[in-house]
């Protein structure tokens, strides 16, 4: 091909520079997002890998009882601690303010050969290793609220064993006897590197779907920007054909003029991603930021992305031009789009069928087969593609109804255009429609996390501002009373109550009720207290999931003689400082079997690791999808305005006020958007339910959190903003003289 | 009609100047367009004919000089001093436009294309469609109302454009090479139909053409050369 001709055809006019800059800029934004998301996916994986050691559950520290009958079985023999094992206990409820701290208590022989990730040799009793973020927190907080829980500082945990820079992890040294006391400690000789355990397959399926959901809008953006100014180009190509250029020359020019700015944009996108990586790492995902290095994709990935964008843009541009039917007399098929038919609904229904089949296989037929995950992923992909494919058909249906009802010039023009060019019209809003679908999927999926609600403060229920800890077997009432006496001396502690029973709550002698001194009952929030010295309440009073208020009854015994302390409940003024002082005191008292908990902690602990992963993708997905969709709509609407420069100029010349033109552009975006929006929302929640049921059919989906409705509102605002942004363009690009000169 | 000293001007241009960058398109043109006449503006390519039409119609605001609409009336309207919204309103209610080609909205049917100016003026759609269909029939276009512009022949499309220009009964019709894209037979057909309709309604026509045969249909002809009214001013009887 003649380079001179190529140069003239590609950058032969001033407007060409604007179009090429638009393509390069859009591709740069798309590639940058693509690489950051790719890096993000890598980062999540790397993060989970580094934190895998925290999942280690070791082997029991107590040998199984020789008798089979659990009712007659005595305590099993202790498995001795050796040089190649450490005794470890995972503390499930170490909470500071509203943050969960991963705490591991460790006991080891001096000669131990076991290396703890990020630390090496286990800490001595009374000393601790903390992640840098936790150590900063400890140093900036009064010791009686946090630091006293762990002992003296021995060192920080290395980054190589931390999921992220904000991870709160502590490994404390403890005497072996203390850890063996409640039988929950386990022996560890080596730490696992399997980040997801048995749920890896389900997690990877969800991760794949999340990745597709996030990448799809990015690909859509790149596709939309590379089509910028398509109509203007078609006119130019028709002129080239008229003066003798062959179809091959024309589609080669089309390929070059799209792929060159795409290549420049892709390279710029790589640079931009490198520049923005430190900033992107600051975005907290699932409670912690990422290390900037986690977002690195490597040069190979960057080269692959650049090569794919370059090749794909060239091929797509050449294909589109070849299919446009550009002859010497102009475009033969540009206006007459093939009328969309009902067949366009097939991919969507096929996708739904695939996802439903996957769920039926695993939940109804109880069949475990390698096919389920691919079915779910392919089904999801088909639904995404299906929405884009069915959109024009629905747009055409809506526009036919709209045209029959149209009364104003703007309504007639907009509905007619939509009816004649539903594919082009829907393309403008396809990004936003997909974004709403993706956001609905994520919001539906993550609603199962939000469904764990804290019960309200009511008489007869454990107060949300109180902390409680069960008392270990073998402790005397005096030891428990000593702890409550110390608690009452602390600022912000309003009451301190010891509950009694026939035996420790975790032991075989535990009773169904807890006995209290009647005088202590008001401190627990009870209003109707029987006029006896001691009162009883059902033991379920302590459970997070108890939502019906319980009543006190007179205790069978007049006093608490012969009873053992089973629980300590501290009532606080509800301030975070008082709550954390209460926790620290109870955890250091030496009589409690578990860390102190409050009903507020339930929200921090109920989420499973798998669902947390889903939530990570949810929030990331919402942000990315909506931002990209807004950008896509702005680009697509601008492109549509540029492509109709002559028609818009003609309408203005006829005396059509600019505000009517604005209404036309607004209607053309609003009708397809609103038509498919409801479908997107409904499908989004259906797909979320299928995914959640696929993972575990015990999960319950609920109404999405307010953030979802905010995201939906933001999407519509973005749509409005994107369309409004093109209003200036309407006046600027529709000179009335265009009817003659364009 | 013939032009004489007693004819009432509907448009009056005085000292029109307009430039595109360094190119001076109009160099002090004075011109009166009289009520009900068919005025042909002829001249070679690049002489400034279309710029003159755009200035007269309020599409362009001249760099210098003025254009007055109905200058003889009690409240003459200085078009060139109006803002774009008012000029747009004037174009919608009082002017009609016909161009050489590509002036129909490609996604609208013929009848909807004709209806648009009526809808913009506030006419209800059923009424707009009825009037548009009637006008199309008067232009010999029975049964093509539901067709899209791409499905019409060049002559049919041009007659639809004429119908759209005349549907609001404008006082002035501006036609820029209205038959430039048609063969001689279709050209004659369109011109005859268009001029029959405008003469019947008393509509003034400003028609740009470089075709002598088309200009011959006019009552009067002015020749524009290098942005000025040149010699060869013709008045037909």
User: Is residue B49 in a domain?
Assistant: yes
Q: Tell me, what's the pLDDT at B3?
A: 45
Confidence of residue A450 (pLDDT cuts 50, 70, 90): very low
- CB spacing of B105 vs A650 below 8 angstroms: yes
Q: Is A9 helix (H, G, I), strand (E, B) or coil?
A: helix
The answer to whether A654 contacts B97, with C-beta atoms less than 8 Å apart, is yes
- Smallest CA–CA separation between B234 and chain A, in Å? 27
Distances (CA, A) of A62 to A73, A78, A180, A549, A630: 13, 4, 9, 39, 59
**Which of A194, A216, A248 corresponds to the end of one domain?**
A194
- Two tokens at A243? 């003066």
The per-residue DSSP string of A116-141 comes to BTTTBSPPPBTEEEE-HHHHHHHHTS
The reply to whether A423 and A299 lie within a common domain is no
**What residue has token string 């208020």?**
A549
Within-domain flag for A362: no
Considering only CB atoms, which chain A residues are within 8 Å of B92? 654-656
* Tally of structural domains, chain B: 1
Q: Is the pLDDT of residue A416 over 70?
A: yes
Share of residues in chain A with pLDDT > 70 (%): 80
Helix A658-695 / helix A645-653 crossing angle, nearest 10 deg? 140
Is residue A478 domain-shared with residue A593, that is, in the same domain?
Answer: yes
* Interchain contact B176–A (C-beta under 8 A): yes
Show which of A271, A300, A335 is a domain's final residue.
Answer: A335
Instruction: Give the bridge partners for A501, in sequence order.
Output: A564
Residue A373 within any structural domain of the chain: no
- Give me the DSSP letters along A592-622: BSS--B-GGGHHHHSS-HHHHHHHHHHHHHH
Residue B209 falls within a domain, yes or no? yes
Q: Which 3 state secondary structure label does DSSP give B114?
A: helix
CB A629 within 8 Å of CB A217: yes
Whether the CB-CB separation of A611 and A201 falls below 8 Å is answered with: no
DSSP string, B130-156: HHHHHHHHHTT-TT-TT--GGGS-HHH
For residue B99, the chain A residues in CB contact (below 8 A) are 739-740
Please, what sign has the CA dihedral across residues A650, A654, A657, A660? negative
**pLDDT above 80 for A695:** no
Listed residue (A43, B20, B166) closest to B178, CA to CA: B166
CB pairs under 8 A between A and B: 84
Residues A497 and A563 in one domain: yes
Mean pLDDT of A93-106: 86
Cβ–Cβ contact B60 with A under 8 A: yes
Structural domain contains residue B2: no
Instruction: Sort residue A536 into left (φ over 0), alpha (ψ -120 to 50) or beta.
Output: beta
Chain A contact for B19 (CB, 8 A cutoff) = no
Range of the domain at A395: 380-448+609-735
Interface of A with B in 677-736 (CB under 8 A): 736
CB atoms within 10 A of CB A110: 8
The answer to whether B92 contacts A656, with C-beta atoms less than 8 Å apart, is yes
| pLDDT over 70 (residue A285) | no
pLDDT value of position B153:
86
Instruction: Please give the C-alpha separations between residue A652 and each of A154, A740, B112, in angstroms, as whole numbers.
Output: 77, 13, 17
| Residue that terminates a domain, selected from A605, A639, A669 | A605
A732 vs A46, more confident: A46
Which residues of A fall within a CB distance of 8 Å from B169?
A: none
The answer to whether the CB atoms of B108 and A657 lie below 8 A apart is no
Portion 26-55 of B in contact with A at CB < 8 A: 50, 54
| Distance, CA of B149 to CA of A224 (rounded, Å) | 28
Instruction: Answer yes or no: do A166 and A259 share one domain.
Output: no
Q: What is the pLDDT of residue A429?
A: 79
Query: Are B148 and A409 within 8 A, CB to CB?
Result: no
Q: Does B97 touch chain A (CB under 8 A)?
A: yes
Pick from B92, B102, B148: which is nearest to A646 by CB? B102
**In terms of domains, do A567 and A626 share one?**
no
CA distance A660 to chain B (A): 9
Structural domain contains residue A349: no
Q: Are residues A568 and A592 in the same domain?
A: yes
Asked if residue A364 lies in contact with residue A357, where contact means CB atoms within 8 angstroms, the answer is no
Other Cβ atoms less than 10 A from the Cβ of A309: the count is 24
Give chain B's length: 237
Closest CA to A462 of A517, A536, A543, A579: A543
**Separate counts of helices (H) and strands (E) for chain B:** 7, 11
Give, in degrees to the nearest 5, the angle at Cα A201 between A196 and A206.
90
pLDDT at A608 over 50: no
State pLDDT tens for residues A62-82: 776 555 454 444 556 788 888
Angle at B211 between CA B210 and CA B216, to 5 degrees: 115
Q: Please tell me the distance from the alpha carbon of residue A650 to that of residue B164, in angstroms, as a whole number.
A: 12
Q: Please give the residue of chain A at the shortest CA–CA distance from B170.
A: A654
CA A601 – CA A469 distance, rounded (Å): 13
CATH number of the domain that residue B101 is part of: 3.40.50.300
> B48 in the Ramachandran plot: left (φ > 0), alpha (ψ -120 to 50) or beta?
left
Q: Which of A382-391, A560-569, A639-648 comes out lowest in average pLDDT? A: A639-648
Residue B234 is assigned to a structural domain of this protein: no
Note whether residue A568 is domain-resident: yes
Cβ distance of B112 and A740 shorter than 8 Å: no
> Which residues in chain A (418-447) have CB-CB distances under 8 A to chain B?
419-421
Out of A11-20, A65-74, A94-103, A496-505, least confident range: A65-74
Return the top range by mean pLDDT from A172-176, A224-228, B153-157: A172-176
Whether residue A347 is contained in a domain is answered as no
The reply to whether A39 and A83 lie within a common domain is: no
**CA distances to A90, A94, A107, A253 from A110, in Å:** 21, 27, 10, 75
> Is residue A79 included in any domain, yes or no?
yes
For chain A, the domain total comes to: 4
Confidence of residue B65 (pLDDT cuts 50, 70, 90): very high
- Predicted confidence at residue A615, as pLDDT, reads 58
Q: Which two tokens stand for residue A222?
A: 């790149």
pLDDT band for A287, please (50, 70, 90 cuts).
low
For A333, residues 6+ apart whose C-beta sits below 8 A from its C-beta are: A323, A324, A325
For residues B26-32, average pLDDT: 92
Q: Residue B92: which of A406, A650, A655 has the nearest Cβ?
A: A655
pLDDT in tens, B68-83: 998 877 778 888 788 8
A531 touches chain B (CB under 8 A): no
B102/A736 Cβ within 8 A: no
* Contact residues for B229 (Cβ-Cβ < 8 A; gap 6+): B29, B30, B31, B222, B223
Structure tokens, A199: 């749920």
Residues A647, B150: C-beta atoms closer than 8 Å = no
Interval A339-378: pLDDT, tens? 888 899 999 999 999 999 988 887 777 776 677 788 888 9
- Give CA–CA dist A174/A595, Å, rounded: 15
Q: N- to C-terminal Cα distance for chain A?
A: 28
Decide the pairing of beta strands B228-229 and B220-225: antiparallel
Contact A49, A193 (CB under 8 A): yes
Helix (H, G, I), strand (E, B) or coil at A493: strand
What is the helix (H) or strand (E) element at residue A716, kind and residue range? Answer: helix A706-725
- Is A646 in the B-facing interface, judged by CB distances under 8 Å? yes
Count of Cβ atoms closer than 10 Å to residue B196 Cβ:
12
Q: Which residue of B has its CA nearest to A405?
A: B125
Pairing of the two strands B38-42 and B204-208: parallel
Same domain for A159 and A252?
no
| A94 plus A151 within the same structural domain | yes
Instruction: Count CB-CB contacts under 10 A for residue A98.
Output: 12
Q: Containing domain of residue B145, as a range?
A: 9-229
Q: Do A653 and B85 touch (CB under 8 A)?
A: no
Residue A520 to residue A488: CA distance in whole angstroms: 13
Disruptive mutation site among A238, A408, A660, A740 for chain B (greatest number of B CBs within 10 Å)? A740
The helix/strand/coil state of A567 is: strand
With beta carbons under 8 A apart, name residues in chain B contacting A655.
88-93, 95, 117, 120
Please answer yes or no on whether B54 and A736 come within 8 Å at the CB atom: yes
Residue A340 lies in a domain: no
pLDDT band at A721 (very low <50, low <70, confident <90, very high): confident
Please state, rounded to an integer, the average pLDDT across all residues of chain A. Answer: 80
Q: Are A597 and A468 in contact (CB under 8 A)?
A: yes
A654 to chain B: which residues are within 8 Å by CB? 91-92, 97, 116-117, 120, 164
Orientation angle between helical segments A409-420 and B110-120, nearest 10 degrees: 150
Using alpha carbons, select from A550, A627, A586 the residue that is nearest to residue A468: A586
Residue-wise pLDDT for A311-320, tens only, equals: 888 887 787 7
- Band of the pLDDT at B237, cuts 50, 70, 90? very low
Span A235-250, average pLDDT: 72
Q: In this complex, do A406 and B125 lie within 8 Å of one another by their Cβ atoms?
A: yes
Residue in chain A nearest B151 by alpha carbon: A336
In a domain, B140, yes or no: yes
Contact assessment for residue A423 and residue A227, using Cβ atoms and an 8 Å cutoff: no
Q: Are the CB atoms for A148 and A172 separated by under 8 Å?
A: no
pLDDT digits (tens, 9 = 90+) for A196-208: 655 556 666 766 7
What φ, ψ does residue B95 adopt, rounded to 5°? -115, 155
Q: Do A652 and B88 touch (CB under 8 A)?
A: yes
- Shared-domain flag, residues A74 and A173: yes
The alpha carbon of residue B237 is apart from the nearest alpha carbon of chain A, in Å, by 32
Of all residues in chain B, the one with the smallest CA distance to A409 is B119
Residues A491, A579 share a domain: yes
Asked whether residue B221 is domain-assigned, the answer is: yes
For residue A458, what is the DSSP state? -
A177 and A260 share one domain = no
List chain A residues with CB under 8 Å of B49. none
Choice between A677 and A267, residue whose per-residue pLDDT is larger: A267
Q: Which of residues 308-347 of A touch B (CB under 8 A)?
A: 335-336
Determine which of B56, B83, B97, B108 to mutate to test the interface with A (most A C-beta atoms within 10 Å).
B108
- Among A381, A207, A228, A215, smallest CA distance to A305 is for A215
**A317, A9 in Cβ contact below 8 A?**
no
| Residue listed under structure tokens 């012969």 | A562
pLDDT tens digits, B174-193: 998 888 767 777 788 888 88
Min CA distance, B173 vs chain A (Å)? 11
């Amino acid at each position: 091909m003649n380079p001179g001709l190529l140069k003239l055809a590609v950058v032969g006019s001033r407007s060409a520079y604007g179009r090429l800059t638009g393509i390069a800029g859009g591709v740069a934004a798309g590639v940058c997002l693509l690489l950051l998301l790719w890096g993000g996916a890598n980062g999540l994986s790397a993060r989970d890998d580094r934190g895998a050691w925290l999942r280690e559950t070791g082997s029991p520290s107590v040998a199984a009882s020789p008798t089979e009958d659990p009712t007659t079985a005595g305590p099993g023999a202790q498995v001795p601690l050796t040089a190649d094992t450490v005794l470890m206990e995972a503390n499930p409820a170490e909470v500071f303010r509203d943050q969960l701290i991963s705490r591991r208590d460790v006991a080891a022989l001096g000669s131990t050969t076991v290396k703890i990730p990020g630390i090496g040799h286990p800490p001595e009793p009374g000393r601790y290793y903390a992640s840098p973020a936790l150590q900063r927190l400890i140093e900036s907080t009064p010791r009686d609220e946090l630091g006293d829980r762990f002992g003296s500082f021995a060192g920080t945990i290395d980054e190589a064993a931390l999921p992220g820079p904000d991870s709160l992890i502590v490994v404390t040294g403890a005497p072996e006897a203390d850890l063996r006391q409640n039988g929950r400690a386990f022996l560890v000789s080596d730490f696992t590197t399997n980040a997801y355990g048995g749920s890896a397959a389900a997690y990877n399926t969800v991760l794949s779907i999340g990745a597709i959901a996030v990448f799809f809008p990015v690909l859509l953006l790149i596709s939309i920007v590379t089509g910028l100014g398509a109509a203007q180009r078609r006119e130019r190509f028709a002129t080239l054909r008229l003066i003798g250029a062959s179809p091959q020359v024309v589609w080669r020019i089309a390929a070059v003029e799209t792929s060159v700015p795409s290549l420049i944009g892709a390279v710029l996108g790589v640079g931009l991603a490198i520049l923005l990586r430190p900033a992107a790492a600051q975005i907290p995902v699932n409670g912690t930021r990422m290390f900037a290095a986690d977002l690195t994709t490597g040069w190979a990935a960057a080269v692959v992305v650049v090569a794919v964008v370059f090749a794909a843009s060239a091929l797509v541009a050449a294909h589109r031009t070849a299919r446009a039917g550009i002859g010497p007399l102009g475009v033969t098929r540009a206006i007459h789009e093939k009328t969309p038919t009902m067949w366009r609904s097939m991919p969507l229904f096929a996708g739904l069928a695939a996802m439903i089949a996957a769920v039926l296989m695993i939940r109804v037929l109880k069949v475990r087969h390698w096919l389920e995950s691919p079915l779910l992923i392919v089904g999801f992909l088909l639904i995404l593609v299906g929405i884009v494919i069915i959109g024009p058909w629905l747009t055409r249906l809506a526009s036919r109804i709209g045209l029959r009802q149209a009364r104003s010039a703007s309504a007639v023009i907009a509905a007619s255009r939509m009816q004649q060019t539903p594919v082009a019209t829907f393309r403008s809003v396809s990004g936003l429609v997909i974004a709403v679908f993706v956001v609905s999927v994520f919001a539906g999926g993550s609603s199962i996390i939000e469904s764990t609600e804290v019960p309200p403060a009511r008489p007869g229920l454990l107060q949300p501002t109180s902390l409680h800890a069960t008392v270990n077997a073998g402790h005397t009432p005096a030891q428990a009373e000593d702890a409550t006496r110390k608690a009452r001396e602390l600022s912000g502690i309003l009451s301190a109550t010891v509950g009694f029973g026939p035996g420790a709550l975790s032991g075989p002698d535990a009773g169904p009720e807890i006995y209290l001194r009647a005088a202590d009952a008001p401190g627990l929030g009870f209003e109707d207290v029987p006029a006896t010295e001691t009162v009883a309440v059902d033991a379920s009073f302590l459970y997070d999931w108890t939502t019906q208020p319980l009543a006190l009854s007179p205790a069978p015994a007049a006093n608490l003689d012969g009873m053992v302390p089973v629980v300590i409940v501290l009532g606080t003024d509800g301030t975070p400082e008082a709550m954390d002082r209460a926790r620290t005191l109870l955890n250091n008292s030496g009589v409690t079997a578990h860390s102190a908990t409050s009903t507020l902690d339930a929200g921090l602990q109920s989420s499973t690791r798998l669902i947390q992963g889903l939530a990570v993708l949810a929030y990331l997905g919402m942000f990315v999808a909506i931002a990209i969709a807004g950008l896509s709509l702005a680009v697509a609407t601008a492109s549509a305005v540029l492509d109709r420069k002559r028609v818009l100029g003609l309408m203005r010349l006829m005396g059509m006020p600019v505000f009517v033109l604005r209404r036309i552009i607004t209607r053309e975006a609003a009708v397809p958007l609103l038509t498919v929006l409801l479908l997107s929302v409904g499908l989004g929640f259906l797909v979320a339910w299928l995914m959640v049921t696929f993972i575990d059919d015990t999960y319950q989906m609920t109404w999405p959190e307010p953030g979802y409705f905010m995201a939906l509102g933001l999407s519509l605002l973005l749509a409005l903003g994107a369309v409004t942004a093109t209003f200036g363009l309407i006046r600027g690009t529709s000179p009335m003289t265009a009817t003659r000169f364009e | 009609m013939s032009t004489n000293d007693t004819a009432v001007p509907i448009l009056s241009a005085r000292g029109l100047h307009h430039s595109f960058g360094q190119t001076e398109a109009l160099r002090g043109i004075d011109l009166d367009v009289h009520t009900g006449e068919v005025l042909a503006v002829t001249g070679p390519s690049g002489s400034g004919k279309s710029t003159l039409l755009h200035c007269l119609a309020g599409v362009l605001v001249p760099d210098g000089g003025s254009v007055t609409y109905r200058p003889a009336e009690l409240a003459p309207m200085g078009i060139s001093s109006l803002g774009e919204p008012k000029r747009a309103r004037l174009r919608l209610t009082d002017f009609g436009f016909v161009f050489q080609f590509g002036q129909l909205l490609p996604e609208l049917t013929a009848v909807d294309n004709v209806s648009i100016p009526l809808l913009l003026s506030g006419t209800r759609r059923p009424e707009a469609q009825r009037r548009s269909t009637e006008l199309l029939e008067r232009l010999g276009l029975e049964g093509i109302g539901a067709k899209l512009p791409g499905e019409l022949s060049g002559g049919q499309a041009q007659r639809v454009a004429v119908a759209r220009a005349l549907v609001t009964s404008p006082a002035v019709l501006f036609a820029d090479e209205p038959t430039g894209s048609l063969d001689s037979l279709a050209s004659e057909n369109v011109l005859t139909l268009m001029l029959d309709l405008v003469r019947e309604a008393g509509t003034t026509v400003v028609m740009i053409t470089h075709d002598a045969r088309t200009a011959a249909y006019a009552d009067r002809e002015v020749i524009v050369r290098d942005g000025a009214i040149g010699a060869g001013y013709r008045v037909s009887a």
